[in-house]
Amino acid sequence: MKNSLSIILFLLLMSGSESTGQKGIAVTVNQLVVVANNPGAIISKDIYGHFSEHLGACIYGGIWVGKESKIPNTYGIRNDVLFALRELKVPNLRWPGGCFADTYHWKDGIGPQSKRASIVNTYWGGVTEDNSFGTHEFMKLTELLGCDAYINGNVGSGTVREMAEWVEYLTSGSDSPMTRLRKENGRDEPWKVRLFAVGNENWGCGGNMTAEFYGNVMRQFSTNLNNYSGNQLYRVACGPNGSDVQWTETLMKDPGTRAMFQGISLHYYSVVNGWDSKGSATKFDEREWFETFRLNLEIDNIIKSHEAVMNRYDPDKTKGLIVDEWGNWFSVEPGTNPGFLFQQNTMRDAITAAINLNIFNQHADRVKGANIAQIVNVLQSVILTENDKMVLTPTYHVFRMFNVHQNARLLKTDLRCEDYTFAGKTIPSISASASVDNNGKVHISLANLNPGKQITVSCPVIGEEYKTVTGEILSASTMNAFNSFDKTDVVKPAGFSGFTMKDGILTVNLPSKSVVVIELSK
């Protein structure tokens, strides 16, 4: 009977998003219906993944300082960064690129560090790197973080043998030249490597290939990537640039090609003023604020377009969509190397993170992984460093608040909200998603995109009853508020009590430009 009443109430709530005021004038009702007793797909923890490329100060100075550094470290990895990342529950970390991956030859980065070959990073700043951070150092980092390694293989300038031997070196426990080499370099037992990308952006920096050519190359490479010693590779094929559905169609339509991968990547960046003039990360007006979110929201349509193609050839959804590069891309900070892509991170980026993560959650049946670009000091990073200083960005705080969704089950929601309008364009004012974890706790994540208006959202919770409600909020007084090395806590989370719960209806008062996570427990 309880479920029947829940369904009736749900249908009534779905019937409209407007109520009539005393004078008969339609008044918008901001409403998020949450169906708590019929959970759906598991929200893969891998949606909350990160990306570390040999770019600027992401690796060298950001993560790796070396064992002899005066900066406190563990095996050469910065302690402050390490401990902060552990708080995020990082599920997987992608490395070594990016475009860098298709110039990287892994054997240059193993063995005694004094004997490792140097490399010129031709893509990012033209700097010379000494390869002191290589395979062993990266795998140690993933062990210390307790996360999965997501290795990106070199298709653009590498060979089939080179990639196959890397997999063998990493994962084989059998006696072979590669396992003996690994043992000579100090690692007796093989590692577990689950995620392995067969190339990166092969439509661009990874070789400027056509989809047809890449499909054949990928088949050749993938055939030689073996599963050793119980390790099972999840092979990620290079997917499309943004909305290029034809690339996805080419890889999906042929059964032989489709059989050679388990996931297909997708890259999408929000570039507010175009690639030639990307705009400042901190000095922007409401037009740029609005346009950033309009572009953020486009990823929902892009995912749907690729899902439609994938669903035709893979209706059982055995292939995952892996959004392994996403985020805001602004101009570099004044006075920094243009090739290092160092940008500050404001409340605008925090809401960007909330929008994208909510969208990925909503597509949990097909989106099986995602990696924000990038983890430290590059683009929309979660951490910034300067010598021995470290700062947590607003994006960091959203990832920490949202990690309650990892491996929880998606709850069906229906959002009806007022528009946020600027210069004749409109977008939804609210972004949301909800999940239930293994302990029966429901988490609702909300973002108010409007920078100048508090919005009250009514959230009928259907099918279950909850007694305890708690909340956390991230907000700021200005759109461009950010954390600097001198003022590290300008934007930080706080306890949230701007809600009521009565007769199964949660009412949330969302301050302007805010991100809120609500927890319901029985």
- ∠ Cα 333 335 336 (to 5°): 65
**Distance between CA 345 and CA 372 in Å, rounded?**
13
Confidence at residue 6, expressed as pLDDT on a 0 to 100 scale: 46
pLDDT tens track for 256-288: 999 999 999 999 999 998 898 899 999 999 999
**Distance between CA 327 and CA 160 in Å, rounded?**
31
pLDDT tens track for 457-492: 999 999 999 999 999 999 999 999 999 999 999 999
**Distance between CA 480 and CA 288 in Å, rounded?**
11
> What is the residue-averaged pLDDT of the chain?
94
**Distance between CA 52 and CA 98 in Å, rounded?**
8
Mean pLDDT along residues 449-464: 96
The answer, yes or no, to whether residue 137 has pLDDT greater than 80, is yes
Calculate Rg over the CA atoms of the chain: 23
* Active-site residue (options: 53, 129, 325, 464): 325
Q: Which domains does the chain have, with CATH numbers?
A: 1-235+323-522 (3.20.20.80)
Of 464, 448, 466, 442, nearest in space to 518 by CA:
442
The answer, yes or no, to whether residue 57 has pLDDT greater than 70, is yes
pLDDT over 90 percentage in the chain: 93
Confidence at residue 470, expressed as pLDDT on a 0 to 100 scale: 98
* Active-site residue (options: 129, 201, 288, 291): 201
The answer, yes or no, to whether residue 14 has pLDDT greater than 60, is no
Give residue 18's pLDDT band: very low, low, confident or very high (50, 70, 90): very low
pLDDT over 70 percentage in the chain: 95
**Distance between CA 222 and CA 290 in Å, rounded?**
42
pLDDT tens track for 385-420: 999 999 999 999 999 999 999 999 999 999 999 999
Mean pLDDT along residues 66-73: 97
Give residue 5's pLDDT band: very low, low, confident or very high (50, 70, 90): very low
Q: What are residue 288's DSSP bridge partners?
A: none
Q: Which two tokens stand for residue 182?
A: 């690994």
> Taking the model in full, what pTM does it have?
0.94
Q: Which two tokens stand for residue 156?
A: 């653009």
pLDDT tens track for 159-197: 999 999 999 999 999 999 999 999 999 999 999 999 999
Confidence at residue 28, expressed as pLDDT on a 0 to 100 scale: 60
Give residue 16's pLDDT band: very low, low, confident or very high (50, 70, 90): very low
Give residue 29's pLDDT band: very low, low, confident or very high (50, 70, 90): confident
Strands 77-78 vs 430-436: parallel, antiparallel or unpaired: unpaired
**Are 112 and 163 contacting, i.e. CB atoms less than 8 angstroms apart?**
no
Mean pLDDT along residues 71-95: 98
The answer, yes or no, to whether residue 347 has pLDDT greater than 50, is yes
The answer, yes or no, to whether residue 510 has pLDDT greater than 60, is yes
Q: Could you give the count of Cα atoms lying within 13 Å of 396 in the half-sphere of its Cβ?
A: 25
The answer, yes or no, to whether residue 11 has pLDDT greater than 90, is no
**Distance between CA 449 and CA 420 in Å, rounded?**
8
The answer, yes or no, to whether residue 15 has pLDDT greater than 90, is no
DSSP string spanning 313-362? H-TT--SEEEEEEEEE--PPPTTS-GGG-----BHHHHHHHHHHHHHHHH
**Distance between CA 274 and CA 202 in Å, rounded?**
22
Helix/strand/coil for 183: helix
Confidence at residue 341, expressed as pLDDT on a 0 to 100 scale: 97
- Label each residue of 105-163 as H, E or C: CHHHHCCCHHHCCCEECCCCCCCEECCCCCHHHHHHHHHHHCCEEEEEECCCCCCHHHH
Q: What are residue 407's DSSP bridge partners?
A: none
User: Is 464 one of the annotated active-site residues of the chain?
Assistant: no
The residue type at 426: T
The answer, yes or no, to whether residue 301 has pLDDT greater than 50, is yes
Q: Which two tokens stand for residue 160?
A: 């089939």
User: Is 201 one of the annotated active-site residues of the chain?
Assistant: yes
